């Protein structure tokens, strides 16, 4: 059991070999994308964060941007910053990423003498980084180098027992072969947190899982003008046949497979051990995908009965569905069709098939969103209103 990946100096392995162009704040998103567009082999991560960071968002944004830069799918990183005193300090982020041994540089808009001068310098830097990255060759890697992120969106009654069960079983195969992985979307676990917590390796992990969900629920309730429990399940979920958040959650946790829960980490943190972990993220799929990428996931599966179209800038996202009509209708969105009858009778066989597809994609086969370039849509979580 192996895949062909890119070796990294910190001992990890990439399934992709991009130069990451990371914007620290919303006002540098366009320059980051302009640099990416001019240099083959680059992938940009942009976000909507603003200046005036305060705790706890400040710490969360720093660690998320840092750990995105550390993701093994990036061979090098160019950070694009406005160069003013406000916002995240790019030097702090760059120094932390550089500790992994990968090349890192910073493009300061103000210090370079304006936008066009900065972009020109950024293009030249990214070009040199991409040239060096192109010399790195894929090598046989054990499955223990895989970190599998598991996502779902547009849930229906098929999601839990079929598509989520399929990717949960694929996650089991990753873990059985020495790899690790996990899932996220904390509000999608409300009502089922005790089931996941019962699989914890010890009481500390068990209590952290329960507290993570309860804290999120309390945060939702702290906004009296909001109505989370009237909006989740959403109208699509209800129209498809899901009756409550508890029913949705029972289906959602199937994507976590069957192995013990080893760790629970905050948004932007990286799990340190092996086995199955949980990342505290919103249910918003874009923010959740970012949380999985920051957790070091180098391949992601995503069950979507509504055919959500987007991927992620530098982590391949494998879209799976059980709806045959959608699989035929949206061939440039969906990658894998789960056979419902096989899933009901032999989910182990279906999960193994998906696992082998993951090995192919981790070895270089492109996903549909990679083929059409629909992988630049991204976002990052923040807890507080903007100042």
> What is the DSSP code string of 92-123?
HHHHHHHTTT--EEEEETTTTTSHHHHHHHHH
Q: Is the pLDDT of residue 227 over 70?
A: no
Check residue 154 and give its pLDDT.
75
Residue spans of the domains in the chain: they are 18-133, 144-372
Q: Is the pLDDT of residue 201 over 70?
A: yes
Residue of 104 and 239 predicted with greater confidence: 104
Residue where the block lists tokens 């009901």: 344
Are the C-beta atoms of residues 115 and 31 closer than 8 Å to each other? yes
**Can you state the percent helix, strand and coil of the chain, rounding each to 5?**
45, 20, 40
CATH architecture of 18-133: 3-Layer(aba) Sandwich (3.40)
Helices 90-98 & 57-70 angle (0-180, nearest 10) = 40
Q: Is the pLDDT of residue 226 over 70?
A: no
Are the C-beta atoms of residues 53 and 26 closer than 8 Å to each other? no
Of 91, 121, 97, the C-alpha closest to 109 is 121
Spatial neighbors of 304 by CB under 8 A, at least 6 apart, are 152, 153, 154, 163, 319, 320, 321, 334
What average pLDDT does the segment 224-240 reach?
Answer: 59
pTM of the model: 0.94
Helix spans in the chain (H) = 29-38, 57-70, 90-98, 115-133, 165-176, 193-197, 203-221, 228-231, 235-240, 245-252, 285-294, 324-329, 340-345, 347-362, 368-372
Give tens-digit pLDDT for 271-329: 999 999 999 999 999 999 999 999 999 999 999 988 999 999 999 999 999 999 999 99
> Residue 48 — very low, low, confident or very high, per pLDDT cuts 50/70/90?
confident
Check residue 236 and give its pLDDT.
61
| Phi, psi values for residue 29, rounded to 5° | -65, -45
Mean pLDDT value across the chain: 92
- Range of lowest pLDDT (208-212, 219-223, 377-381): 219-223
Of 286, 280, 283, the C-alpha closest to 268 is 280
> Residue 241 — very low, low, confident or very high, per pLDDT cuts 50/70/90?
low
- Rounded to whole angstroms, the Cα distance separating 44 from 277 reads 27
Q: Is the pLDDT of residue 85 over 70?
A: no
Check residue 301 and give its pLDDT.
98
Residue of 53 and 71 predicted with greater confidence: 71
- Range of lowest pLDDT (144-153, 202-211, 221-230, 259-268): 221-230
Task: Compute the Cα dihedral for 118, 48, 57, 262 and give only its sign.
Answer: negative
- Rounded to whole angstroms, the Cα distance separating 215 from 56 reads 14
Q: Token pair for residue 177?
A: 């072969």
Pairing, β 2-7 against β 74-81: unpaired
Cis peptide bond prior to 233, omega within 30° of 0: yes
> Residue 221 — very low, low, confident or very high, per pLDDT cuts 50/70/90?
confident
Q: Token pair for residue 218?
A: 């309390």
């Amino acid at each position: 059991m192996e895949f062909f990946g890119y070796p990294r100096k910190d001992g990890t392995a990439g399934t992709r070999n991009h130069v990451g162009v990371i914007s620290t704040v919303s006002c540098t998103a366009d320059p980051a994308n302009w640099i990416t567009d001019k240099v083959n082999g680059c992938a940009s991560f942009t976000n909507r964060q603003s200046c005036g960071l305060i705790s706890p968002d400040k710490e969360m944004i720093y660690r998320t941007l840092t750990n995105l830069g550390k993701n093994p799918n990036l061979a090098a990183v160019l950070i694009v910053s406005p160069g003013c005193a406000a916002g995240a300090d790019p030097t702090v982020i760059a120094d932390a990423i550089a500790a992994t041994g990968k090349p890192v540089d910073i493009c300061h808009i103000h210090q370079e003498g304006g936008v066009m001068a900065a972009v020109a310098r950024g293009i030249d830097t990214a070009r040199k980084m991409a040239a060096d990255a192109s010399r790195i060759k894929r090598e046989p890697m054990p499955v223990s180098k895989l970190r599998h992120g598991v996502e779902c969106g547009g849930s229906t009654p098929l999601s839990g027992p079929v598509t989520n069960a399929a990717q949960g079983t694929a996650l089991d195969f990753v873990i059985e072969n020495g790899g690790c992985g996990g899932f996220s979307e904390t509000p999608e676990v409300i009502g089922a947190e005790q089931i996941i917590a019962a699989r914890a390796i010890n009481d500390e992990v068990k209590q952290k899982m329960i507290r993570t969900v309860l804290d999120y629920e309390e945060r939702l309730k702290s906004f009296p003008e909001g109505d989370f429990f009237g909006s989740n399940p959403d109208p699509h979920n209800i129209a498809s046949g899901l009756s409550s958040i508890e029913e949705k959650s029972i289906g959602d946790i199937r994507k976590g497979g069957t192995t013990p829960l080893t760790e629970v980490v905050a948004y932007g943190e990286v799990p340190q051990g092996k086995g199955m972990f949980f990342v505290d993220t919103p249910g918003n799929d874009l923010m959740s995908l970012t949380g999985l990428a920051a957790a070091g996931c180098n391949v992601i599966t995503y069950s979507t009965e509504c055919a959500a179209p987007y991927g992620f800038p530098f982590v391949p996202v494998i879209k799976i569905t059980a709806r045959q009509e959608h699989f035929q209708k949206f061939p440039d969105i969906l990658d894998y069709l789960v056979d419902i009858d096989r899933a009901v009778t032999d989910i182990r066989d279906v999960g193994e098939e998906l696992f082998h597809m993951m090995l192919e994609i981790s070895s270089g086969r492109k996903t549909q969103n990679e083929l059409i370039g629909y992988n630049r849509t991204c976002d990052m979580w923040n807890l507080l209103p903007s100042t």
